[in-house]
Every structure is written in structure tokens, then in C-alpha cells.
């Protein structure tokens, strides 16, 4: 079981968290027919990266914070975690 | 023999106490873990035996002359312990009702009933052992080849294989029990309580770090515990077992060190999450941990889940068996096994021994055997220049030492009767694998014991799991740690240090470095590191590159799985050239010992068959479990939480049949669900709806939040209003539904589905925390409120006297919400009705739930109030044509398919799923959810029955075009009705269709919904 470093609570077992998927901001003007491809990309095409991935985690059994983590998908090294504001 | 020599080989003469002499046992000695004053009776295969406290099943039976404990997995060859460690898995026994017990780890307890496994009809006359004579019929990959086709026969094959190749059996009448688990934390976790591990624990503990030390044995000391020779430490010399005790006392006395004995690590996961099983007893008295004589029995194993901050692997090495013909015969044992028998348990290993040696350890074992009174016929030395000091002692005691020699074959039926020895080719040892020539004449030496000491395999399995990399050291013929991940250290034999001095110093170094990793101390000094490196470099080679003797037919590399040298070669010849493929095809290293005693030999054989070097062949990935783990320990206690509403006990007292609703329990019905429907529709019913998801929303921007969450419009919902809404995910798929009430003063109340509310709340939080800049606070109140629905034509009349809220239809109309008190309890009331009748849904703080429920039951008595369950609710909602998210919809259902077009407002600027719904609406839908009734009202389809049309090209002449998702007999309308999916062009009311029910075809017809009270007159009255 890996450890996730909650920016509020510190390192906790991953079982306390919900994984929220890759950081993948919603496209601008998604209703525009011209953005069909961007919308499909947003919904279905995950990067599924080997390496450091920026991703969402939710501390469900803790403080209730949604935060971002940069985690290596092979070694599971969590390089940093931070609030959403810093990701903008 | 000179007096000096006598003393050298008989150090016991000074401490021997003749009174303690027991039959079949050596004189008692301080290194013994058995207590001769405490005999224990136990049974093996129905016969009584005497053991002593501290004995394992294997040691007690060996001392009693029992060497065959079981039969092998495939050929049912007789097998016994050969290592006296956890690796003796091919001789696993059954103890009481527990199968697959490792005999060399299990301590004998009074009255214990031990049975051998994998024998039929009995241990001595095993019919399956005939397969041994016909082994050409069971070639490698046998199970794959013989049983692959035809697939349909697999169930039959499986039964036969299970009987022939089973590993014990499981009784089904064992009383229920569970294994508990324990969470542990350590700054420095040390695996292995030998010299390196204890040294590491002590040096780390001295820095102030919190240390945990694990060992699979019931005592500390590792190999020191079973050795009696003098060893060199940095503080001078000591007897090995005395040094073990000295170190153990320091470790046990140290306040920073937690010691867990009988504890096997089977898994090292990411971020040093370590799984271990602690078996046997726990002893709370630290002084007696070292001494199993005063143990407290603890019948179950415990699973330890340990989060370590840094780790020292000091888990030693396995003595490596040499593979030759019949080397699996009982009585062929490892040198360390002989020492364990004599020095831990006082058991005589045999009467006449041959020792096969390739290192100093082998010669030492020969001396130890002499001391124990075993006749050593000859020492067969693989080396040409064995350690002269020990050779001199042996020869002066009359033991010939034959250099440059090998054992080619063991002879015997149920145990060794003798061995063939030969002169070997001069260029020994060859690398890798075998030798090229055997010279000279074969000589037969009679013996009942062959002891082999040809080398050590570092126990790197756990380091592989920790993502370490090992490299093959050609000179030492060992795979040694080459790269370890941060915060993982290795010390002692697992890291290639063999002398006690090197083990102790390397342990000290690793302990200091591990402590420094987590902020304690400065780590090992340069001086210490250099000294360790120097000592290790100067050590003599302990491991022979020779792994097998060619020429034998019954030469087994794997005892667990009966894989022979020939099988390995055949597998490689068939193309399974890589270790990973070879392992899976031949089942090598996939048995209960996880390859502990076979991996090194397999690698050498594989390399040779591929004409490669060992590094080119490489090793396999280490996967958990490293050691066998009882499944019960992994399963642990049943810990799934259950949620009860405040009225739960009332439901039970009323005889309700309960059902699961997520984590909740709900009444499915109290009696006859149809009667519950009729009672509610005709007069009054009440249902516990406390499992509904409930959210309180606060803030001026709640309408904006609702506009984003729901597909319909919310900004104009006035105070006191309730609205139904559907939610979609970004794919435009229906994800939840429910109602939300505007309570006024920027307070809102939302209900959601029982199963969906947790995710919904988290999704709301995600949006609020990542870009929806709304002034909103959401609180999940699901568990804090009780909820019930009082419904039926008499609901108003019963409720009005109990509440300060005006229930008049104009004052509190349908789809309105009010706050007030009911029976003195603060309540939120919503006039909504999934039943289709006048109804009031009441939400009150959970602590008042039962009180209000009972008050309403009393008040409703004059109107024959009917408590009803989920089944009656489902019938009534179906009569109203309401769908259930997740039952009538699935992961592909968008609102347009579920006749929810009215609730999707694409003119809103944005909401979750809108971009998808805009596109879906353009594309149109292919299927629709519609109401139906069966032409024959006695026919009630099962939910998930298929709607079909004839098609001669399909297997049974039918093609599926839709399916039934909800189906009930309506007691109100006296019809069989429900909801189903149909193609859009066949979804108009009046269209008939065919549904296949239990193989028969029946006719149904699409009808408009709601089925009952389509204008909602009753609901709004
Ligand atoms: Zn947190």
C-alpha cells in the first residue's frame, strides 16, 4: 500500500484516499461543434503515462481535501502534492 | 588420537551431565531449545510419540527415527525434512484440522495429532508412487499438454489431478474462527534476528530510532543459535551460541527495540509496507522469549501490517542443496540441518554419515557429527585444497577426507542406505552448472545419512520485492545486492558476508545508515564502511558453482514440484528459454517453498542448457508471498461496516425480512408486499426511507450549484418549493436523481440515491474546490437524519394533529417543503410521492427517528396504518412508472433514452454533461425505456429477460432487441407490468413485442406511463 502525502494531513495510507484520475482540465467552450475532438479527448483519451503524472486525489477518510499529486506511475514516488490553486 | 584432538572434537566433555541422558537424544547442552524435563506426548499417523518442549514436529519425529513425513507432489516419492527450516515444504503435514503445516516450524504441543499428507492409502504403501516408475508418462509441462484439450473435459481432469496431486485437504466442519491483524510502525525495520540483524537493530536503536526486529524462528540468533564453534568478533572470541544469547539479551533489554518472533515476512510493498505473519505463541515476558520453555500458547496466527520508514534485510541465506540422483531421499540433509538437529534439539542425525563438503562449513559439520557420536565414514570434498586446520583434526580422528571428489548418487528405498562416490574432473568447480567428467571407479559407501554443505544462496527474494537489483558474483557464485532502493539496506549473509565478524560489522553499518535515513544519527563512518568492505573482500568463497551431478534420471531440482534436471533441459529445448517462461512451464519455484532451495540451481541449469552465463540468463522477479501464508491470515476478520437506521430494531421486532441497500439494512417486507400496497393505497402506509442520501447546502450560490449539477432549471425555485432533478456525468449518462428543497435563508436540502450519495458529495466537493467559485457549503447529513414517508389518502388527517405546519392542500401543496415540528421534533417535511398517493416525507435528527416512527404508528392505528418495505415501494413506484437509476438505467443510459427530455434544459449556459448531451441530441437515440403490460396478466417476466424477434440466422432462431428492467404484478391494477428497453421505432404505445421468459415466448405491449393515476389526482389531493 503506497503512501500519499495530503497537503493538510501529511503521509497516510492510500486506502484513506480516492483516486481522482489524471489532471485533465475541462476544455473551453465545449459546446462549440468545433471542439468535438477536444471534448472526446477530455472524456476518453487518457495519457496513461509512464513517468511522473499529475493527478487528483481526495482525502475521503481524512480532511476532505481534493488536491493534486505528482506521482511516478512506476515507482509510486509521490514527488509533490499541492492545492488546486497552485495548479492553475 | 591425542588428548588435544579429543578436546577439539569433544568440547562437550566438560559440561556433560550424565543424568540428563535421554534415549535417542544427545546430552543436554546450553544451545538446546528443548527441555528434557518437560516431555510432551503427541501422535503421528495415529501412533504415539514423545517430544520435549521446544521440539518441532520434524525434530521430534527425526529423534524418534521417523524420516519419511510425506510423499512428493507429482510422483509421490517419500520425502522428509532436509533443511529443518521453513523451506521443508515438501514434507508438509496436517496438524489437527489445519493442512499444509511446515513440520520444521511447527512446535509440538501436548496431544497434537499430526498426519502425513498426499499419501494414499497410507504413508508406507503409497499407490501413486507407482507413477515414479512411469515418469516418462508425466513429462514436463504435463498438466498443460495432457489436459489442455478438449476444454469441455477440464472439470473432470481437474478432479483427477486434485486427487493425485493434492496438497492436503480442507475440512468443512472446522469451527468458524478468524485471524486478527495488527498494524505496526517502525523507524527501522530489521528482518532477521541473526548476528547481522541483531547488530543492525542495536546500532539503529542506539541512535534513538524506534526499531522492530522480526525473525521467523521462536528464538533469536540465526545461524549462531545452532553453531558451537568459536567465532571471531571485534570484541574477541566466543562460542557461536553464546554470542547469540549475549546479543539477544542486549536486543531484548533495549527499550527502543520491539522483537517479534515466529514472524515470517512474505511481502515488501511500495513505500515499505511490509506484510508478515506471526505464528505460534506470544510471550509477554521478555526474559523468556529466548527460552521457549515458558511459552504461552496463542492458537492463531496474526497478520502484521508494518509501515517502516527504513529497512534492513538481514534475512540470511539458504544452504544450497546439490542436485544428484536420488538427492531427495530422506536422510540426505543439509549441513545446517544436521547442526540444527544436534544443537537445537539434541536429536542424533544418524548413525553412519557421509559428509559432502565444498566449504569450511562442511568440515565443521563433520566435526560436529563426531562430537555427537555419529560415525563419519568419509568426508567427500569437492575442493582440492580444503581448510587444512580442520582436515588435520578430522584425519587425526580417523575420518578420511577425499579431495576432488563427488557423490554421484544416493541409494535407498525410504531412506539413504548408501552413496556412490567418485573422483571428479580436476577443473572443478565449473561455471555454470555441472561438471564435464567423472573420473575413476565408482565406490559405494554404506551410510544412513548424507550431509551436504556445498554453498549458500542469499535469501534475496524480499530484496527483489523491495525493487532491489542483484548481480551475479562469478567468483563467489552468489547473486548479491547490487542496487537497493533508497531506505533499503542489506547486511549479513543475504549481502554476501559469511564470517561472523563481517556479519556483525555489516549489520552495525546497515543499522546506522537505516537510522540516518530517517533522521537519527549521522550514519556509518567511512572507517566502518571501509572495514566492512575489506573484511568481505578477504572472505573465502563459500559457494560452489557446481550445482548438480550429471547422469542421474531421478535428479530433482525442485522437491516442491518434482521437477528434474531432465525436465529443465526439455523445457529449454521446447523453447521455454527464459527463466520466467521456464518457471511457468515447468512449475519450478511455484510450489509452497517459493523456490527457496531451487532457484539458484534452476538458474545454473537454465544457463547451461541455453549455453549462456548465469548473468545472461538472469533471475526471475520476486513476487509475494515469499513464504507460505495461511489464507485465513490474509482474510482476517470480516470488517465490512453495516449501517442501521434508528428504526432497525423496531423492524426486526415486527418480523421484517431485511435486505441490503449498499451498506444499509432495509425492510424488504413485513408480510405480504401486495397487502402492504393495498393497505397504503386504500388508507395509510409508512416506510423508513432513512437510507436516502441527504445533503444540506448552505450559501447564496446554491442555485448556481444546482444549475450545474442537475440537467433541469433551479434558479426560479422559490422558498418552500421542492423539485425533482436528474444528474448526469460529463458523458451525458444518468448518474443520480432525487429532489432538492429550498428551505429559505440560503439553506437547501438535497436527497440522492442511497448508493450514489457518497460519490455525489465528493464530486460536489471536487467542483467546489477546483474552479466552481460558488459561495456554497455542502454537508453530507446522510447518517445524521432519520427519514420516513407517511403516505396514503389518510396521511393528512393523521399527521395534522401532530404538527404545527398547516397541512391544508393550498398552504402545503404537492412539491412543497416546510420546516416545523412533528410530535415536538424539529422536522423538514416534503410533499413528494413516489407511491402516487398523498404523502409527507419527514426528515428529523436521527436520535428522534424511532420516537417519531412509533408516534406515527400509534396515531395511524385508527386508520390501520401499514408499515411497508422496499418491495411494496417498488411495486407502487412502478405503478407510477418511475424508473430507478442503476436498475432501469445503466452506464450507457442518457436522459433522452429514459423519456427525460423534459428535464434536460440545453438552453442553460452550462451543466455537467451538457456538451455531451448537445451532441447526443443531434445524433438521436436508438433505444428507449418504456412502460409495458403483458397481454396475459398471469405472466410476470423476470427482470433482465430478453425481448426478441425471430431471426433464423441466430443460434436459437431469435435475436435480442431489448430487455425487461423492472417487472411486477400490480395488485392495484391487477396487471403484469413493468419497464423495458426497446428500439425507438418499436417504442410507441400499442406496439406489441415478444419476451422470452424461462425459455418460453410471451407477448407484451407498450403502454403509456404512469400506469396508475396518470393525472396525479391522488398525489395532488
Ligand atoms: Zn487530509
Residue B593: what pLDDT?
A: 65
The answer to whether the CB of B221 falls within 8 A of the CB of B245 is yes
B420 within domain boundaries = yes
Looking up cell 426478441 gives B948
Q: What is the ipTM of this complex?
A: 0.96
Residue B552: what pLDDT?
A: 75
CA of B785 to the centre of ligand 1 (A): 26
**Half-sphere CA count of B595, side-chain side, radius 13 A:** 28
Q: DSSP letters of B411-469? A: EESSSEEEEEEEEEPTTPSPSSB--S-EEEEEEEEE-SEEEEE--EEE-THHHHHTT-E
- Could you tell me how many CB contacts below 8 A there are between chain A and chain B? 48
A18 interfacial to chain B (CB closer than 8 Å): yes
Residues contacting B844, CB < 8 A, separation 6+: B785, B786, B787, B822, B825, B826, B827, B828, B852
Q: What is the pLDDT of residues A30-60, one digit of tens each?
A: 888 889 999 999 999 999 999 999 999 999 9
Confidence band of B119 (pLDDT split at 50, 70, 90):
low
What is the rounded CA–CA span in Å between residue B547 and residue B745? 83
Residue of chain B nearest A44, judged by CA positions: B731
Among B239-243, B433-437, B620-624, B921-925, which stretch is predicted with the lowest mean pLDDT? B433-437
* pLDDT reading at B139 higher than 70: no
The answer to whether the CB of B394 falls within 8 A of the CB of B384 is no
Among positive and negative, which fits the CA dihedral B605, B608, B613, B619? negative
Q: Which domain holds residue A36?
A: 3-87
- Identity of the residue in A20, A26, A31 whose CB atom sits nearest the CB atom of B918: A31
The residue count of chain A comes to 88
* SS3 state of residue B342: helix
Residues B143 and B215 in one domain: no
Residue of chain A nearest B270, judged by CA positions: A2
CB atoms under 10 Å from CB of B638, counted, come to: 6
CB atoms under 10 Å from CB of B747, counted, come to: 16
What is the rounded CA–CA span in Å between residue B603 and residue B576? 13
What is the rounded CA–CA span in Å between residue B779 and residue B481? 53
Residue B612: what pLDDT?
A: 83
* pLDDT reading at B73 higher than 80: no
**Half-sphere CA count of B424, side-chain side, radius 13 A:** 27
B680 within domain boundaries = no
Q: Which three cell numbers stand for residue B237?
A: 572470541
What is the rounded CA–CA span in Å between residue B19 and residue B29? 12
Could you give the number of structural domains in chain A?
Answer: 1
Residues B339 and B194 in one domain: no
What is the rounded CA–CA span in Å between residue B199 and residue B213? 11
Residue of chain A nearest B485, judged by CA positions: A75
Nearest to B201 by CA among B229, B232, B222: B222
The answer to whether the CB of B600 falls within 8 A of the CB of B542 is no
Residues contacting B969, CB < 8 A, separation 6+: B674, B937, B940, B975, B976
Confidence band of B638 (pLDDT split at 50, 70, 90):
low
The answer to whether the CB of B376 falls within 8 A of the CB of B399 is yes
Q: Which three cell numbers stand for residue B528?
A: 566502518
Nearest to B478 by CA among B600, B611, B616, B323: B600
Residues B8 and B18 in one domain: yes
B198 within domain boundaries = yes
CATH classification of the domain holding A15? 3.30.2270.10
Residue B175: what pLDDT?
A: 55
Residues B471 and B442 in one domain: no
CA of B771 to the centre of ligand 1 (A): 19
Q: What is the pLDDT of residues B731-747, one digit of tens each?
A: 999 999 999 999 999 99
Interface of B with A (CB under 8 A): 269-271, 273, 307, 467, 730-731, 762, 765-766, 769-771, 910, 914-916, 918-919
Using the CB atoms, write b or e for A64-78: b if 16+ within 10 Å.
Answer: ebbbbbbbeeeeeeb
| Full 3-state SS string of B204-261 | HHHCCCCEEEECCCCCCCHHHHHCCCEEEECCEEEEHHHHHHHHHHHHHHCCCEEEEC
Q: Which residues of B touch A84 (CB under 8 A)?
A: 769-771
The answer to whether the CB of B749 falls within 8 A of the CB of B694 is yes
Q: Which three cell numbers stand for residue B122?
A: 497410507
Longest Cα pair distance anywhere in chain A, in angstroms? 44
- Identity of the residue in B730, B769, B915 whose CB atom sits nearest the CB atom of A31: B915
The answer to whether the CB of B679 falls within 8 A of the CB of B860 is no
Among B364-378, B402-416, B631-645, B835-849, which stretch is predicted with the lowest mean pLDDT? B631-645
* pLDDT reading at B526 higher than 60: yes
The residue count of chain B comes to 1021
B231 within domain boundaries = yes
Residues B312 and B327 in one domain: no
Residues B216 and B265 in one domain: yes
Residue B439: what pLDDT?
A: 64
Is there a contact between A58 and B762 if contact means CB atoms under 8 Å apart? yes
B357 within domain boundaries = yes
Provide the shortest C-alpha distance from residue A36 to chain B (in Å): 9
Q: DSSP letters of B158-183? A: HHHHHHHH------S-SPP----EEE
Is there a contact between B467 and A60 if contact means CB atoms under 8 Å apart? no
Q: What is the pLDDT of residues B788-830, one digit of tens each?
A: 999 999 999 999 999 999 999 999 999 999 999 999 999 999 9
* pLDDT reading at B557 higher than 90: no
Choose one of B149, B172, B195: the last residue of a domain: B172
What is the rounded CA–CA span in Å between residue B574 and residue B142? 13
Nearest to B751 by CA among B741, B743, B739: B739
The answer to whether the CB of B449 falls within 8 A of the CB of B330 is no
**What is the signed CA dihedral for B431, B434, B435, B436, rounded to 10 degrees?**
-100
Nearest to B84 by CA among B289, B438, B381, B344: B344
* SS3 state of residue B891: coil
Q: What is the pLDDT of residues B888-907, one digit of tens each?
A: 999 999 999 998 999 999 99
CATH classification of the domain holding B306? 3.50.50.60
The answer to whether the CB of B590 falls within 8 A of the CB of B598 is no
What is the rounded CA–CA span in Å between residue B670 and residue B799? 23
Residues B212 and B283 in one domain: yes
CATH classification of the domain holding B607? 1.10.10
Highest mean pLDDT among B402-411, B618-627, B992-1001: B992-1001
Residue of chain A nearest B732, judged by CA positions: A43
Could you give the number of structural domains in chain B?
Answer: 6
Q: Which of A13, A34, A66, A81 to mutate to test the interface with B (most CBs of B within 10 A)?
A: A66
Residues B305 and B332 in one domain: no
What value does the mean pLDDT take over residues B906-928? 95
Q: Which three cell numbers stand for residue B421?
A: 562416490
A61 interfacial to chain B (CB closer than 8 Å): no
Confidence band of B494 (pLDDT split at 50, 70, 90):
very high
Nearest to B83 by CA among B446, B623, B596, B603: B596
Percent of all residues in chain B with a pLDDT value above 70, rounded to a whole number: 87
Residue B111: what pLDDT?
A: 92
B950 within domain boundaries = yes
Residue of chain A nearest B275, judged by CA positions: A1
The answer to whether the CB of B138 falls within 8 A of the CB of B131 is yes
Q: Which residues of B touch A60 (CB under 8 A)?
A: 762
Confidence band of B121 (pLDDT split at 50, 70, 90):
very low
Q: Which of A10, A23, A26, A55 to mutate to test the interface with B (most CBs of B within 10 A)?
A: A26
Confidence band of B33 (pLDDT split at 50, 70, 90):
very high
Using the CB atoms, write b or e for B541-561: b if 16+ within 10 Å.
Answer: bbbbbbbbbbebebbbbbbbb
Residue B154: what pLDDT?
A: 52
**Which phi-psi region, left, alpha or beta, contains residue B492 (left: φ > 0; alpha: ψ -120 to 50)?**
left
Q: Which of B769, B779, B916, B921 to mutate to test the interface with A (most CBs of A within 10 A)?
A: B769
Q: DSSP H helical segments within B770-905, as ranges?
A: 795-799, 849-859, 870-879
CB atoms under 10 Å from CB of B785, counted, come to: 22
Residues B375 and B473 in one domain: no
A36 interfacial to chain B (CB closer than 8 Å): yes
CA of A58 to the centre of ligand 1 (A): 8
The answer to whether the CB of B685 falls within 8 A of the CB of B835 is yes
What is the rounded CA–CA span in Å between residue B242 and residue B889? 73
CA of A8 to the centre of ligand 1 (A): 5
Provide the shortest C-alpha distance from residue A88 to chain B (in Å): 9
Q: Using CB atoms within 10 A of its CB, is residue B42 exposed (0-12), middle (13-18) or buried (19+)?
A: buried
The answer to whether the CB of B70 falls within 8 A of the CB of B119 is yes
- Identity of the residue in A30, A35, A66 whose CB atom sits nearest the CB atom of B766: A66
Looking up cell 567418485 gives B422
Q: What is the pLDDT of residues B677-724, one digit of tens each?
A: 999 999 999 999 999 999 999 999 999 999 999 999 999 999 999 999
**Which phi-psi region, left, alpha or beta, contains residue B670 (left: φ > 0; alpha: ψ -120 to 50)?**
alpha
Nearest to B933 by CA among B975, B966, B974, B972: B975
Provide the shortest C-alpha distance from residue A17 to chain B (in Å): 11
Residues B94 and B227 in one domain: no
Q: Which of B770, B780, B892, B918 to mutate to test the interface with A (most CBs of A within 10 A)?
A: B770
Q: Which domain holds residue B982?
A: 926-1020
Residues contacting B672, CB < 8 A, separation 6+: none
Provide the shortest C-alpha distance from residue B600 to chain A (in Å): 27
Among B90-99, B141-150, B604-613, which stretch is predicted with the lowest mean pLDDT? B141-150
Residues contacting B560, CB < 8 A, separation 6+: B73, B89, B90, B589, B590, B591, B592, B593, B595, B598
Residue B99: what pLDDT?
A: 81
Cα angle for residues B359, B102, B376 (degrees, 5° grid): 35
Q: DSSP letters of B604-624? A: HHHHHHTT--HHHH--PPP-S
Residue B548: what pLDDT?
A: 83
B633 within domain boundaries = no
- Identity of the residue in B270, B766, B769 whose CB atom sits nearest the CB atom of A76: B270
The answer to whether the CB of B789 falls within 8 A of the CB of B842 is yes
Q: Which residues of B touch A13 (CB under 8 A)?
A: 273, 307
Q: Which residues of B touch A10 (CB under 8 A)?
A: none
Residues B83 and B98 in one domain: yes
Q: Which residues surround ligand 1, an ion (CB under 5 A)?
A: A 6, 8-9, 59, 62-63
Choose one of B140, B172, B204: the last residue of a domain: B172
CA of B888 to the centre of ligand 1 (A): 37
* SS3 state of residue B555: coil
CATH classification of the domain holding B939? 2.40.30.110
Amino acid at each position: 500500500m503506497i503512501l500519499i502525502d495530503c497537503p493538510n494531513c501529511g503521509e497516510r495510507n492510500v486506502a484513506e484516499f480516492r483516486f481522482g484520475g489524471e489532471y485533465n482540465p475541462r476544455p473551453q467552450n465545449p459546446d462549440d461543434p468545433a471542439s468535438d475532438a477536444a471534448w472526446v479527448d477530455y472524456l476518453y483519451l487518457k495519457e496513461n503515462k509512464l513517468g511522473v503524472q499529475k493527478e487528483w486525489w481526495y482525502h475521503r477518510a481524512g480532511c476532505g481535501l481534493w488536491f493534486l499529486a505528482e506521482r511516478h506511475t512506476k515507482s509510486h514516488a509521490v514527488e509533490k502534492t499541492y492545492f488546486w490553486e497552485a495548479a492553475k | 588420537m591425542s588428548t588435544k584432538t579429543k578436546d577439539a572434537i569433544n568440547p562437550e566433555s566438560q559440561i556433560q551431565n550424565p543424568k540428563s541422558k535421554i534415549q535417542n537424544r544427545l546430552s543436554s547442552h546450553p544451545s538446546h531449545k528443548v527441555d528434557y524435563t518437560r516431555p510432551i506426548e503427541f501422535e503421528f499417523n495415529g501412533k504415539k510419540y514423545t517430544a520435549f518442549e521446544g521440539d518441532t514436529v520434524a525434530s521430534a519425529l527425526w529423534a524418534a527415527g521417523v524420516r519419511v513425513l510425506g510423499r512428493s507432489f507429482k510422483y509421490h516419492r517419500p520425502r522428509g525434512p532436509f533443511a529443518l527450516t521453513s523451506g521443508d515444504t515438501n514434507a508438509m503435514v496436517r496438524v489437527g484440522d489445519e493442512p499444509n503445516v511446515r513440520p520444521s516450524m511447527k512446535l509440538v504441543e501436548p496431544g497434537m495429532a499430526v498426519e502425513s499428507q498426499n499419501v494414499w492409502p497410507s504413508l508406507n504403501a503409497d499407490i501413486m508412487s507407482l507413477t515414479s516408475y512411469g515418469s516418462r508418462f508425466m513429462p514436463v509441462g504435463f498438466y498443460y499438454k495432457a489436459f489442455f484439450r478438449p476444454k469441455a473435459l477440464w472439470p473432470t481432469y481437474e478432479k483427477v489431478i486434485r486427487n493425485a496431486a493434492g496438497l492436503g485437504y480442507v475440512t468443512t466442519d472446522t469451527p468458524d474462527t478468524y485471524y486478527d491483524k495488527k498494524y505496526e510502525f517502525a523507524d527501522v525495520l530489521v528482518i532477521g534476528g541473526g548476528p547481522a540483524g541483531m547488530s543492525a537493530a542495536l546500532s539503529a536503536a542506539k541512535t534513538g530510532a524506534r526499531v522492530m526486529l522480526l525473525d521467523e524462528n521462536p528464538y533469536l540468533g540465526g545461524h549462531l543459535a545452532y553453531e558451537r564453534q568459536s567465532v571471531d568478533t571485534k570484541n574477541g572470541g566466543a562460542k557461536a551460541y553464546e554470542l547469540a544469547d549475549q546479543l539477544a539479551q542486549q536486543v531484548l533489554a533495549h527499550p527502543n527495540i520491539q522483537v517479534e518472533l515466529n514472524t515470517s515476512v512474505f511481502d515488501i510493498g511500495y513505500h515499505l509496507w511490509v506484510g508478515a505473519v506471526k505464528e505460534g505463541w506470544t510471550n509477554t515476558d521478555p526474559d523468556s522469549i529466548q527460552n521457549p520453555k515458558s511459552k504461552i500458547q496463542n492458537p492463531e496466527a496474526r497478520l502484521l501490517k508494518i509501515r517502516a520508514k527504513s529497512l534492513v534485510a538481514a534475512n540470511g541465506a539458504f544452504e544450497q542443496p546439490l542436485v544428484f540422483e536420488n538427492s531427495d531421499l530422506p536422510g540426505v540433509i543439509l549441513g545446517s540441518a544436521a547442526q540444527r538437529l544436534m544443537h537445537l534439539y539434541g536429536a542424533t542425525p544418524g548413525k553412519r554419515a557421509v559428509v559432502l563438503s565444498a566449504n569450511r562449513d562442511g568440515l565443521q559439520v563433520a566435526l560436529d557429527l563426531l562430537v555427537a557420536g555419529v560415525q563419519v565414514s568419509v568426508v567427500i570434498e569437492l575442493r582440492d585444497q580444503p581448510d587444512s586446520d580442520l582436515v588435520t583434526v578430522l584425519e587425526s580422528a580417523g575420518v578420511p577426507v577425499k579431495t576432488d571428489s563427488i557423490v554421484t548418487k544416493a541409494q535407498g528405498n525410504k531412506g539413504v542406505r548408501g552413496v556412490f562416490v567418485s573422483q571428479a574432473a580436476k577443473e572443478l568447480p565449473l561455471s555454470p552448472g555441472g561438471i564435464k567428467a567423472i573420473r575413476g571407479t565408482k565406490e559405494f559407501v554404506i551410510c544412513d545419512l548424507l550431509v551436504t554443505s556445498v554453498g549458500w544462496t542469499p535469501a534475496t527474494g524480499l530484496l527483489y520485492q523491495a525493487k532491489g537489483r542483484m548481480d551475479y558474483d562469478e567468483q563467489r557464485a552468489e547473486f548479491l545486492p547490487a542496487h537497493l532502493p533508497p531506505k533499503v539496506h542489506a547486511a549479513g549473509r543475504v549481502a554476501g558476508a559469511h564470517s561472523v565478524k563481517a556479519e556483525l560489522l555489516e549489520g552495525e553499518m546497515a543499522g546506522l545508515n537505516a537510522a540516518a535515513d530517517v533522521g537519527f544519527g549521522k550514519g556509518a563512518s567511512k572507517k566502518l564502511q571501509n572495514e566492512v568492505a575489506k573484511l568481505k573482500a578477504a572472505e573465502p568463497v563459500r559457494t560452489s558453482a557446481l550445482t548438480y551431478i550429471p547422469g542421474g534420471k531421478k535428479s530433482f531440482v525442485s522437491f516442491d514440484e518434482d521437477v528434474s534436471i531432465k525436465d529443465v533441459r526439455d523445457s529449454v529445448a521446447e523453447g521455454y528459454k527464459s527463466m520466467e517462461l521456464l518457471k511457468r512451464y515447468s512449475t519450478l519455484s511455484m510450489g509452497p517453498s517459493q523456490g527457496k532451495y531451487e532457484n539458484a540451481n534452476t538458474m545454473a541449469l537454465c544457463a547451461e542448457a541455453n549455453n549462456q552465463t548465469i548473468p545472461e540468463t538472469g533471475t526471475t522477479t520476486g513476487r509475494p508471498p515469499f513464504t507460505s501464508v495461511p489464507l485465513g491470515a490474509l482474510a482476517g476478520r470480516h470488517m465490512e461496516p453495516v449501517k442501521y437506521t434508528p428504526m432497525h430494531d423496531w423492524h426486526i421486532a415486527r418480523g421484517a425480512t431485511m435486505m441490503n441497500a449498499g451498506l444499509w439494512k432495509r425492510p424488504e417486507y413485513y408480510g405480504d408486499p401486495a397487502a402492504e400496497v393495498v393497505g397504503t393505497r386504500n388508507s395509510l402506509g409508512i416506510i423508513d426511507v432513512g437510507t436516502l442520501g441527504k445533503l444540506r447546502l448552505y450559501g447564496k450560490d446554491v442555485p448556481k450549484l444546482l444549475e450545474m449539477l442537475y440537467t433541469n432549471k433551479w434558479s426560479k425555485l422559490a422558498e418552500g418549493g421542492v423539485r425533482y432533478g436528474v444528474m448526469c456525468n460529463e458523458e451525458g449518462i444518468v448518474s443520480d436523481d432525487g429532489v432538492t428543497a429550498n428551505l429559505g435563508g440560503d439553506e437547501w436540502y438535497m436527497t440522492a440515491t442511497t448508493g450514489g450519495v457518497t460519490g455525489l458529495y465528493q464530486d460536489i466537493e471536487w467542483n467546489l474546490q477546483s474552479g466552481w467559485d460558488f459561495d456554497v457549503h455542502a454537508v453530507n447529513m446522510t447518517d445524521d437524519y432519520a427519514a420516513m414517508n407517511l403516505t396514503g389518502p389518510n396521511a393528512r388527517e393523521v399527521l395534522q394533529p401532530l404538527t404545527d405546519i398547516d397541512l391544508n392542500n393550498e398552504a402545503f401543496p404537492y412539491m412543497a417543503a416546510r420546516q416545523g415540528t412533528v410530535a415536538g421534533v424539529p422536522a423538514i417535511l416534503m410533499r413528494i410521492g413516489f407511491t402516487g398517493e398523498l404523502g409527507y416525507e419527514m426528515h428529523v435528527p436521527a436520535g428522534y427517528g424511532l420516537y417519531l416512527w412509533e408516534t406515527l404508528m400509534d396515531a395511524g392505528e385508527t386508520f390501520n396504518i401499514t408499515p411497508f418495505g422496499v418491495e411494496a415501494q417498488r411495486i407502487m413506484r412502478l405503478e407510477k412508472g418511475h424508473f430507478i437509476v442503476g436498475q432501469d438505467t445503466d452506464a450507457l443510459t442518457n436522459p433522452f433514452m429514459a423519456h427525460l427530455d423534459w428535464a434536460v434544459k440545453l438552453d442553460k449556459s452550462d451543466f455537467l454533461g451538457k456538451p455531451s448531451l448537445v451532441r447526443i441530441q443531434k445524433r438521436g437515440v436508438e433505444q428507449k425505456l418504456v412502460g409495458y403490460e403483458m397481454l396475459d396478466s398471469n405472466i410476470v417476466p423476470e427482470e433482465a429477460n430478453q425481448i426478441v424477434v425471430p431471426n433464423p440466422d441466430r443460434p436459437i432462431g431469435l435475436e435480442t432487441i431489448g430487455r425487461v428492467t423492472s417487472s411486477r404484478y400490480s395488485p392495484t391494477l391487477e396487471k403484469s407490468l413493468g419497464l423495458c428497453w426497446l428500439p425507438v421505432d418499436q417504442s410507441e404505445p400499442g406496439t406489441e413485442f415478444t419476451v422470452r421468459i424461462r425459455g418460453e415466448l410471451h407477448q407484451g405491449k407498450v403502454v403509456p406511463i404512469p400506469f396508475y393515476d396518470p393525472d396525479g389526482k391522488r398525489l395532488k389531493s
